[in-house]
Amino acid sequence: MAIRHYWPMAAAAVGFRLVLVLFGGDLHLSSRPEVSTPLTSLRRLAEGYWLKQASMSPYSGSMYHGSPLLLSVLGPLTSKRSGGHNAHIYCSLLFVAVDFIAAMLIRSTGRTLQMTRDKSLKSLNLTKSVNDSANVSAGDTASLIYLWNPWTIITCVGSCTSPIENLMVVLMMYGACSRLAPLAAFGYVMATHLSLYPAIFILPVTLLLGYGPDTPPTKVFLQKGLSTSRIDMSDNGKSTSQRCFGQISWKPILHFILWVFMWSCYVLFLNSIILNKVGGLQEMFEKTYGFILTVKDLSPNIGVLWYFFAEVFDFFRSFFLIVFNMNIIFMVLPLAIRLKHRPCFLAFVYTAIVAMLKSYPSAGDSALYLGLLGLFANELAEMQFTFFLFFGYIGVSLLSPVMHNLWIWRGTGNANFYFATGLAYTCLQTVLVVETVSSMIKHDRKLRLLTKA
C-alpha cells in the first residue's frame, strides 16, 4: 500500500533542508562531535585542500585523513572568494541534492524488494494471510524515514561528508538489488575507499547478485511440497521455483568482481594523479586506512573507543586494537550463514554493526541504517521494544549535547558524563540489532508454520 501524498512530504523534507541552509545562519553543527568526525569534517577537508594548493601533501600534520577525490570535488567549494559562510552554503546545497538522490535510490530498492516479496509469497499461496497483517510500501516508508530523520538533517546541514559516504552505500545496494554489476561495483569501491568498513559488504552484495533480492528460506519452498500440477516445468525438467530460489547465478558475480577490479584500478589511478608531487599512495593508505585502524585521534565522539583508548595502558593498546577491529570481522560470517536468504537485510545488519563498532562513528552512520530499517517494515511489524528504542534514541540525542556542554564549556561535569551517553547509545544499537535479527527469524518461522498449515 503506497503512502498518500508521498511527493509533497519528500518535497517538504528537501525544502526544510534548504531553509536551514539558506536562512538558518551558522548553527555551529560542524563543531559538534556527534556530527563531524576527523574523517568527515569539512573544516579538515578545507585545511587539506589549502595544503595541496600550497604544493604540500594534504596529509601533512594531523588534520586531513579523507580521500584525495573529495579534495578535488569539495575542495574548490571550500575556497570561494566570497567567504567561508558562502562556501558552507555551497557544500550544504550539494549535500541536500545527495540526500535526495540517496532517498530516491532507497525508494527504488524498497520497491524491488516489495515485488520480490510479493512474488515469493504468491508462489507459497501465502499472499492473503501475510498481507492481512501488514502490507505497507517499504520503499516509500524507508525513503521518508531517511529524509525526515533529524540525524540525517543535521548531518546534511552540519558540513560533513557523511551524506556522500551514505550515498555510495545506498548506490551499492541499489545496484546489487537491480543486478547492475557495474553500478554495484562502483558503489562498493567508492564506499570502501571513503570509509574502509564497507569492505565487509562483499558478502551481501555477492548474495544479492547471485540469488536476487530477499526471499523466504529455501526450506520453506521445499517444505511446501509443490505438486507438479502447480509447477511449470522447463525444458530441462527443473521447476521454475527451484530455478528462481534455489540456484545461484555466477555470471553477475563474475561481472561484479571484474568491475570491482576495474573501478579499484581507476580510483587508485586518479588518486595517484591528484597526489602527484604532493605525496603518494603509500602515504594516503597510512593516513586514511591506517588512521582508522589505529585510532590515533582520541577526540570525543558518540562512540566508546575514544574513551577506552584514552584510559588503556600503552602496553595493551596493540592488543585491544586487534580485538576491536577483529570484533566486526568475527560477526560477518555467522550472520551471513544465518541470513543468507535475506542479503538485503544482512546488509542492513552490517551497516548497524559498523555504525556501532567503528572507530569514529557519527550521527550520519545511524541515519543510514535507520533509513534502511524502513525497507523491512512488513517483516519487522511485530518487533519488540520499539517504544523503548524510539524514546531511547530521542533521549541520547538530547542528552549528548547537554553532557558535552557541561564537560567542555561549563566545567561542571567530566568526560564520564559524555561517555555515559555514548555507552547508552551503543547499548541501544545493540538492542536494535538483536531485536531486528530476532524478529526477522520469527517472521521466517511464521512463514514456515503457515506453510505447514
The helix/strand/coil state of 41 is strand
| Residue 146 confidence (pLDDT) | 96
Residues 6+ apart with CB under 8 A from 238: none
Residues 6+ apart with CB under 8 A from 157: 17, 20, 21, 24, 27, 29, 92, 95
Count the Cβ atoms, other than its own, within 10 Å of residue 234: 11
**Rounded to whole angstroms, how far apart are CA atoms 295 and 315?**
15
What integer best gives the mean pLDDT of the chain? 86
Q: What is the pTM of this model?
A: 0.91
Residue range 109-151, pLDDT digits in tens: 999 998 888 887 777 776 666 665 557 788 899 999 999 999 9
Dihedrals phi, psi of 89, to nearest 5 degrees: -65, -45
Cα 301 to Cα 77, 121, 203, 294, distances in angstroms = 26, 44, 29, 16
Residue range 378-406, pLDDT digits in tens: 888 888 889 999 999 999 999 999 999 89
All cell numbers assigned to 243: 530455478
Residues 6+ apart with CB under 8 A from 105: 167, 170, 171, 173, 174
| Residue 129 confidence (pLDDT) | 64
Assess contact for 18 and 134: CB atoms under 8 A: no
Q: Which of 57-61, 75-79, 93-97 has the highest mean pLDDT?
A: 93-97
| Residue 25 confidence (pLDDT) | 67
**Rounded to whole angstroms, how far apart are CA atoms 159 and 77?**
12
| Residue 249 confidence (pLDDT) | 85
**Rounded to whole angstroms, how far apart are CA atoms 45 and 64?**
6
- The single-letter code of the amino acid at 79 is S
**Rounded to whole angstroms, how far apart are CA atoms 66 and 147?**
25
| Residue 54 confidence (pLDDT) | 87
With a cut of 70, say whether residue 230 has pLDDT above it: no
Assess contact for 203 and 346: CB atoms under 8 A: yes
Residue 367 CA to its chain's centroid (Å)? 8
Considering only 76-80, 94-98, 279-283, 341-345, which range has the smallest mean pLDDT?
Answer: 76-80
Residue range 271-298, pLDDT digits in tens: 999 998 887 899 999 999 999 999 988 9
Average pLDDT over residues 299-321: 91
